[in-house]
Amino acid sequence: MPSTEESVRRASRMLAGFMSPAVANGYASALVIDGASFIAACQSKGAYCANLPPRLEKPRVEDPPVSALSHIQTLRNHPAFNQFYGSCEIKMVELGKLIACQYWVDTDVSDGVHGSGLQGPPDESQVFSKCLPVELISGFQSRWQVLGKSIVISSMNNTITANGPVYDPNTGEVKFWVSPSPNLMLVREHQGRYVLANGYHRAWLLRSRKVNMVPVVMAHMASEKEVVPDAGFIEPHIIFGQRPPIVDDFFDDSVSVSAEMRSMLRAVRIGAEVLPIPRLI
């Protein structure tokens, strides 16, 4: 594999003990700089995790403080809040006991981006601004590249997504638009399991600053399938097993490991393809 420039190396924290051999090998071959050391760590920490006793600790869930009601109302008044979050609740939750559905955290982004300008433990106002920013959708820088009849948009903002299509059969026009998604800390709950669905960089930052209770958007889901994100995250049988990983496990050396990884971009590809197909009617 080609060498990795220092400028795109990132420090990360990884839930190595909860990775299957296939998942560990995937990270080692594609993202981790020192794959051999990482695989060895996964094997030893996986053996430790295999003997962990069952444990499921429900996090504390509380109403937000009265002092934060103005911040919350401003957030709810944002035109995009109802579009993306509907009637979700806003609650204070015990961050360290939330179930983790993501295998790793880029700690350089946590400390260098989200922690920028933050000295010592954050106060209540800073915690709310980090977890539930009232602007809801941030701006982003991107690179656009045309490849034949496709266009690829890449960005360091890992929330960008493609919206659409909108089309007009009369003119033949098809339109997509690319934009960041809302980036609030989000918890999905199902049958008493509270899973952190978004906000891992901030979770690392705040727990490392000894913050215990944080504000989140909370969605109550009807099924397990709705709780777990798409492929690439921790498998549902682990999240809904007898000993799911929690946010505080990222700080536990017996189940987690620090590793250098290649920095990640997010890319959206939009393309047109012309295909001959058999007629059915």
- 249 in any annotated domain: yes
Tell me the pLDDT band of 7, cut-offs 50, 70 and 90: low
Q: How many Å apart are CA 85 and CA 82, to the nearest integer?
A: 5
The predicted structure's pLDDT at residue 116: 78
Nearest to 57 by CA among 93, 90, 88, 89: 93
In a domain, 61, yes or no: yes
**pLDDT confidence of 89, banded at 50, 70, 90?**
very high
- How far apart are alpha carbons 212 and 203 in whole angstroms? 10
Number of domains in the chain: 1
- C-beta separation of 176 from 161 below 8 A: no
Q: What is the widest separation between alpha-carbon atoms in the chain?
A: 69
pLDDT digits (tens, 9 = 90+) for 27-43: 999 999 999 999 999 99
Tell me if 51 is assigned to some domain. yes
Cα separation of 90 and 76, whole Å? 10
Domain annotation covers residue 127: yes
77 within some domain: yes
Q: What confidence score (pLDDT) does residue 158 get?
A: 84
* Chain centroid to CA 78: 22
Q: Are strands 150-155 and 173-180 parallel, antiparallel or unpaired?
A: unpaired
Element spanning 28, H or E: helix 21-30
Residue 164, by phi and psi: left (phi above 0), alpha (psi -120 to 50) or beta?
Answer: left
Distance CA 280, CA 241 (A): 47
Residue from 190, 206, 203 nearest 239 by CA: 190
If we measure between CA atoms, which residue out of 62, 88, 55, 57 comes closest to residue 213? 62
Which residues form the domain of 31? Answer: 6-137+182-268
Query: So what's the pLDDT on residue 140?
Result: 81
- Rounded to 5 degrees, φ, ψ at 187 are -120, 135
Provide the percentage of residues in the chain whose pLDDT is more than 90.
77
Residue 200 domain-assigned (yes or no): yes
**Residue 148: inside a domain:** no
Minimum mean pLDDT range among 7-21, 53-67, 104-118, 201-215: 104-118
How far are the Cα atoms of 85, 184, 234, 256 from residue 196, in angstroms, in the given order?
A: 15, 11, 12, 18
Residue 171 lies in a domain: no
Band of the pLDDT at 4, cuts 50, 70, 90? low
With beta carbons less than 8 A apart as the criterion, state whether 181 and 83 touch.
Answer: no
| Residue 6 pLDDT class (50, 70, 90 cuts) | low
Over range 211-239, report the average pLDDT. 91
Tokens of 239: 């999240």
